[in-house]
């Protein structure tokens, strides 16, 4: 049986420029070259050779819910929460309590927020 490693996450977005600006501003991701094609899809680095691909689909209907999300971990979640507040980005806990973080049973602190297309992003602290 083959073994696998995570490579990239691809999201359909209405406005690729708005989405790139959001991820650069909020998560401070750096844009990297799209080496796969000359399309308008833009790539951002998630470090460790992992990538976020933003695929322009201006006419697509994007449906999401909080259970469909991707998660990133940070060593300083309190500083990140302060950053979200500074940017006036609403965040919540898993139960949708506005501007509240959540501590899971295993002690991991997490917050959830949405990008301009409604995708949910979880940020948690490294254990």
- In DSSP terms, 113 is beta-bridged to 121
For the chain, residues classed under CATH 3.10.180.10 are: 8-56, 69-125
Superfamily of domain 8-56: 2,3-Dihydroxybiphenyl 1,2-Dioxygenase, domain 1 (3.10.180.10)
Per-residue pLDDT tens for 7-41? 999 999 999 999 999 999 999 999 999 999 999 99
**Nearest alpha-carbon partner for 115 in 3, 6, 19:** 19
pTM, entire model: 0.90
Per-residue pLDDT tens for 71-102? 999 999 999 999 999 999 999 999 999 999 88
Pick the CATH number of 69-125 from 3.20.20.80, 3.40.718.10, 3.10.180.10, 3.40.50.1370: 3.10.180.10
């Amino acid at each position: 049986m083959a073994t696998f490693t995570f490579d990239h996450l691809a999201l359909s977005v209405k406005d690729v420029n708005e989405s790139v600006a959001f991820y650069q501003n909020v998560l401070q991701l750096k844009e990297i070259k799209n080496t796969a094609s000359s399309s308008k899809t833009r790539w951002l680095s998630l470090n460790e050779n992992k990538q976020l691909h933003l695929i322009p689909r201006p006419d697509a209907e994007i449906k999401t819910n909080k259970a469909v999300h991707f998660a990133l971990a940070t060593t300083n979640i309190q500083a990140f929460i302060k950053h979200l507040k500074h940017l006036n980005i609403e965040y919540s806990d898993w139960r949708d309590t506005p501007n509240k973080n959540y501590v899971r049973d295993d002690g991991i602190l997490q917050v959830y927020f949405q990008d301009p297309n409604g995708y949910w992003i979880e940020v948690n602290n490294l254990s």
